[in-house]
Structures are given as C-alpha cells and as structure tokens.
Amino acid sequence: MTKIDTIGRRQRATLPRHARVRVGKREVSDPAEAWAVIDAARIAHVGFVADERPMVIPMLHARIGRKLYIHGAKATRIVKGVEERAPVCLTVTLLDGIVVARSAFHHSMNYRSVVVHAQARHVVNAVEKEAALVALTNRLLPGRWDEVRQMTAKEFNATGVLALDVEQVTMKRRDGPPVDDEEDYNLPIWAGVISLAETVTGIAADEDLAEDVPAPPSVVRSTTRPR
Amino acid sequence: MTKIDTIGRRQRATLPRHARVRVGKREVSDPAEAWAVIDAARIAHVGFVADERPMVIPMLHARIGRKLYIHGAKATRIVKGVEERAPVCLTVTLLDGIVVARSAFHHSMNYRSVVVHAQARHVVNAVEKEAALVALTNRLLPGRWDEVRQMTAKEFNATGVLALDVEQVTMKRRDGPPVDDEEDYNLPIWAGVISLAETVTGIAADEDLAEDVPAPPSVVRSTTRPR
C-alpha cells in the first residue's frame, strides 16, 4: 500500500505536501494485490526475445494460483521445442486516471501495473491443459465455459497452451492527486485528476442467432463487472 | 483493411460464413491507420532486452511524424551511453470488444494493435527534446502544454527523453461478429459482441486548488475525447 491510501483527507492536510506521496516509492509489496490486478486486466502485453530483439504482443492471459497461462499460435511460438523453456515478461496495466498538475513536469497517470518475469513452457499434460483452457475462457467472460458447446478433441489438440512458471512479480501503483512544487500551489492554474475506466458500451447479438436465445448470465453480468 | 470492414451487412449475408472474416489475415497495411491507433492509445507497453531477458514496462508515448518519444528515468535506462542505441519494441492495444462465440474455441477479442520495432537513442538536441516534451504533455491531455507553468531549465535538464527511430510498424485488427463452425449456428447458444471503451468517469479538482480557478479547455475537452 502506498502512503496515499492509508492517510485520510483530513489527516493528510496536516502533513507537509512533499510527504503526501512517496515519489519513487510506487512499489506495492502485497502479492494478493498484484494477483488481483492480473485478474482484473483483460489482456497482458507479453514480451520475449526473438533473434536477440525484444518482441511485445498483446495476449489473453489467465491465472491458476501462482501460474499464468497464455494460448494460441503466437504464444506457443515463443517456446520452440517441447522440452525447451524461454524467459518471458508478462505485464498488465490498469489506467485509473490522468494526473493534471500545475507544471508539465508533474503531470502523470494514476495506474496499477504488474510485471511478471517467468519461464514459459509448453503444457503437455492434458489435465493441466484443460484447466488452463477453462481458465482462459472464463477470464474473457466469467462463467462462459459452462455455457458453450463442449470442446472437441480436435480443438483441444489444435490449441497450444503455454504455462508461465512465475519467478518474480512486481507491482507498482500511483494514485491520489498531483504533487506540485510548493511554490506552484499559489498559481492560478487548474490541477486535479481525470478518472478513467473501461466500460461496456453495448451488447450486440450475432445477426445469425436463433431468435429465441436470450443473453446468458455471463453476458448479462458483464455490464456490471467490477474492475 | 480487413474484409469485414469493406463488406456491408446485406452484402455479407450473401457470402458463405467462412468468407466473412479472413482468419489469420488481421494485418492492416495502411500506415495512417497504424499511426492513428498509436495516437489514440493513452499508453504503450515498451519491451527491451536487459541482461538477455525480456522486460516490458508501461510508458507514456508521443509521436512526431515517423518518430516516437518516451521519457523518464525508466525509459532512459534502456539506452546506457549517449552514443549507444538499443532495439525496442513498442506495442499499443485498443480493446474494442469481447467476441462471444458458440464454442470456447472461437471466443476472441475485437481490438486494434500496433507493434513498432525501433532503435532507441538519447535525445541530446535541445530543439528536438523540447518538441518531444511538448508532444508528450499534449499526448496526455491535448493542449495542456500551453496552460501550465513554463518548464524551468532545471526540469528540462532533469528529464531524460528517448527517441525511437522506427524500423517496422505492424498493425493488426479484429472486428465484427464471432465466426463459429457452420454446424454450431443451429445450436441454442447465445453469441455476439460485448463492446468495450475507455471512458472518463469523473473529474476531481485538487483540494489545494485556488477556489477561483475553473477547469481549463484541455480538461473540459477530455470528457468528450473521441477514441
């Protein structure tokens, strides 16, 4: 938890301004908070090294305990052989707001981000693979796995899954108001926070849908999904 | 442009379903579209290689023509010496929707993403550096640079800026409805698209704001910013 979270408005006002946010101290040490951010992020940006160059690709991810899973052709090409492992960096970021300060220098974003360093490996065990596919589907839309047509053996075999065995997790967060230079607080310049959030803006049924199929619980719940 | 963009609903209905989306053909070849996605994304995920391992960090980015800029301590550490260059991969992703299919296998996301491969270098030229800082501030909040207290020489010198000289830009996009297996369309299973967008959910003035300072045009405009 950063300082700003544990000090209320009234209490904060009695502190010198420079003490309100510990600049450079945005690291969050509680693992549960980091996992919660990973679970709340719809996608991850997965980095790996290909031909000695960095490569970053957006991917769906899911978590089971301390393991993360990604899938699909792009993902599975990160690790070449079945026996091979490859280092990956999976990063998720939730944007919470634009921090509008009195000087350009102190503008910032409020955010929560988690950087995971891990070793990726092909999932060959069928039990682990099915659990990962269930988790990935339910990550996209909680509860969806139980609503869809059962996965065929052909689909199961055609889908490559990578497990990321986690080595290190680092979470950072910035929240709260801008922190300006002391002498700038008297300037007639507006400052504050513009809050941002991802929202569901519409639900469109497939035009080829049988007319008597109502939206299932997973879809109805998506409009009220907390973040 | 992917097929789905150029074919209208009525026209599309006369095509066999498998022709509606060219699966695996999500690449968009128009550079203007790729730049527009880069300009619309609030942050980028920047990948680089550190100690032979991949590292991915969320960063603010700005574009001037065919050059991208990132700044701050984390960014500038990517390139060690003033003369040095380092390969980076900057990726931006806009999530447009959850694609809900009749089978788990065909679930997907609608998205626009751009992967930029570039060489990063320290910006030492003061004219280029100031242009980059203006662009980065206005990227966060268009027009903001002209509203804030002028940057001091000390701030200018304290801020490290990296230019990314672009080598390759690749854009991918998926849009439109789910594409299910032909035989699954008769199943009584809901399918469709849940649209997503980032929205401004509130504006909070700093509690230390002089009471007679109204919200400036940049902040007022932020609530109606197109994406």
**Model-level pTM?**
0.88
Q: Least CA distance to A107: which residue of chain B?
A: B137
Tell which wins on pLDDT, A4 or B145: B145
Contact B125, B69 (CB under 8 A): no
Residue A205 φ then ψ, to 5°: -75, 145
* pLDDT at res. B2: 29
Longest Cα pair distance anywhere in chain A, in angstroms?
68
- pLDDT-derived band at A210, boundaries 50, 70, 90: confident
What's the pLDDT band for B82 if we cut at 50, 70, 90? confident
- Which positions 180-219 of A are in contact with B (Cβ < 8 Å)? 184-210, 212-216, 218-219
> Does B93 lie at the interface with A, CB-CB under 8 angstroms?
yes
Query: What domains does chain A contain, in order, with CATH numbers?
Result: 3-222 (2.30.110.10)
CB contact under 8 A, A202 and B194: yes
Is there a contact between B104 and A133 if contact means CB atoms under 8 Å apart? yes
3-state helix, strand, coil in chain B (%, to 5): 30, 35, 35
Three-state SS for A18-87 is HHCCCCCCCEECCHHHHHHHHHHCCCEEEEEEECCEEEEEEECCEEECCEEEEECHHHHCCCCCCCCCEE
Q: Do A196 and B199 touch (CB under 8 A)?
A: yes
Measured between CB atoms, which of A54, A189, A213 is closest to B54? Answer: A54
What is the C-alpha separation between B67 and B118, in angstroms, rounded? Answer: 9
Chain A residues in contact with B141 (beta carbon < 8 A): 98, 100, 107, 194
- Among A87, A101, A209, beta carbon nearest to B191: A209
Selected residues 162-181 of chain B with any CB under 8 Å from a CB in chain A: 177-178
Q: Is the pLDDT of residue A166 over 70?
A: yes
Residue B90: the pLDDT is 98
